[in-house]
Amino acid sequence: METESGSGQSWKGIRDAGSACELIDRSVLLQWKDMRSLKRELSEFDQVRIMQHFARMLCANSQNRLYAEIVMESILIWISYSVKESQVLAFFDQLFAEEGHDQASRIFAEVALTSEVTDHDHDEILYSTGVAITCELGLAIRRREATEPGTFRNAREVADHITTYLLSVSNSSNNCIRLSLLHYFGRICSGMQDKSSFNRIMNRFGHTVLDHLFSSLFHKKSEAISLQYLLENLPYIFESEAHCQKILHETFKYYMLKKPDRFSLFIQTLSEKISEDPKYDGHEVRKVLLQHLAALFKVVAEVNHKLLAGDILVAMKHFNKEPYLQQLTEQLMITPGIRPAFREFLKHLGQNNSGRFSEHIIAHLRSPKRGRKPSFSRAENIGTLEQVSFLGSFDLAKAS
């Protein structure tokens, strides 16, 4: 790919959106080295205007492959350096408002996922950003069709086209890409009978990506964003096939025994969120989470870990209004190998009409040496793009 320099101008020294838009019109490729000064000199308003102009020009010139490649590389450099959800949303809003938005969206996915970039020093980050943005584009098209039917031309066909391209990159070992794909396929398959695409990516890299997420969860610098990603995306795994549940159970079991206190805190947080969220009323997600908690209870009963048993029962208590809890408790009571002391704990879980069990039992099970109530750091309202960018590039070895 060649870039045009026109009268010798480049992005270096640009201080207003108008000048930047002229360079976009003339297909002058943005350079990574120029982003630092651009971010410093340009206001947020001007940066949004530039993203909107990228969208306009991509739609106007989607038939020109060379121009599309130059614009797309510039877009990927900008987003990779900036990682601002608001600017990406502004880009999508403008793209959807233009004539030719359907063809431009197809080209967006094709170029982002198949074309080589000229910036070889940053090709990996540009490629992973391309996958992440394509995932966001596909989800944005589906949202638009769901909320404003008919306003996006050929929405179903374009969304399916994007999905096909995204499946083709699922062999990647890049964590940013894997996290993006897990979220994308989890979202599009949620509530659907056919979850084959989500099951496929889970079978390809489920173990690895979950291990990365839980390792990040138990590191102070990354726990907040890892927690948010897990809380938002684990329900998609709860909806998936039996083999995916096995992958998740093995991960849960490993980190429960390796980091019992912090894992217990995570289980409480997850259970509280899912039990209180009305969208899971009567949903399979609650039932499957309870099944996971029951399976973990069996593990701690086998190793005679009473403190963990107490924490798991506390997590199960969040679902005391669920009819399935009583059935599950009865199944655990007759499970071979459960020690008598643990059967006694379960008996309290199943007592009285509400399914509550005595607080003094929990007080007895939990260690008085744990001190003040622990908690995770929180990072609310961090968008998926920012989550995968941070978690995918977070190096645990360097951070430790």
Give which of 20, 88, 103 is closest to 58, Cα–Cα.
103
Instruction: Measure the N-to-C terminal CA separation of the chain; round to a whole number of Å.
Output: 41
By the 8 A CB rule, do 328 and 290 touch? Answer: yes
Note the pLDDT of residue 380: 67
How many Å apart are CA 329 and CA 249, to the nearest integer? Answer: 19
Structural Rg of the chain based on CA atoms? 25
**Quick one: tokens of 343?**
């059967």
Q: Are 365 and 313 in contact (CB under 8 A)?
A: yes
Q: Give pLDDT, residue 375.
A: 66
Neighbours of 301 (CB within 10 A): 23
Instruction: Find, among 325, 376, 375, the residue nearest to 346 by Cα.
Output: 325
Question: Any idea of the CA torsion for 223, 225, 229, 234, to the nearest 10 degrees?
Answer: 20
Q: Where are the alpha helices (DSSP H) in 83-122?
A: 85-97, 101-114
**Residue 147 to residues 142, 150, 184: CA-CA distances in angstroms?**
9, 10, 18
CA–CA gap between residue 110 and residue 124 (Å, rounded): 17
Q: What is the pLDDT of residue 128?
A: 95
Q: How far apart are CA 76 and CA 83, in angstroms?
A: 10
What is the pLDDT, as a whole number, of residue 292? 97
Q: Over the chain (400 residues), what is each successive 10-residue block's mean pLDDT?
A: 49 92 94 93 95 96 93 96 91 96 96 92 94 97 95 95 96 95 97 93 96 94 94 96 96 96 95 94 93 95 90 92 88 86 78 46 50 60 91 70
For 145-167, what is each residue's pLDDT tens digit?
999 999 999 999 999 999 999 99
Determine the longest span between alpha carbons in the chain, in angstroms: 84
How far apart CA 352 and CA 361 sit, in angstroms, is: 15
Structure tokens belonging to residue 303: 């190793």
Which residues contact residue 12 at a Cβ distance below 8 angstroms, ignoring those fewer than 6 apart? Answer: 31, 33, 34, 37
Residue at token pair 């599950």: 328
pLDDT at 374: 59
Structure confidence at residue 399 (pLDDT)? 57
pLDDT at 393: 87
CA 127 – CA 132 distance, rounded (Å) = 9
The 10s digit of each residue's pLDDT in 18-59 is: 999 999 999 999 999 999 999 999 999 999 999 999 999 999
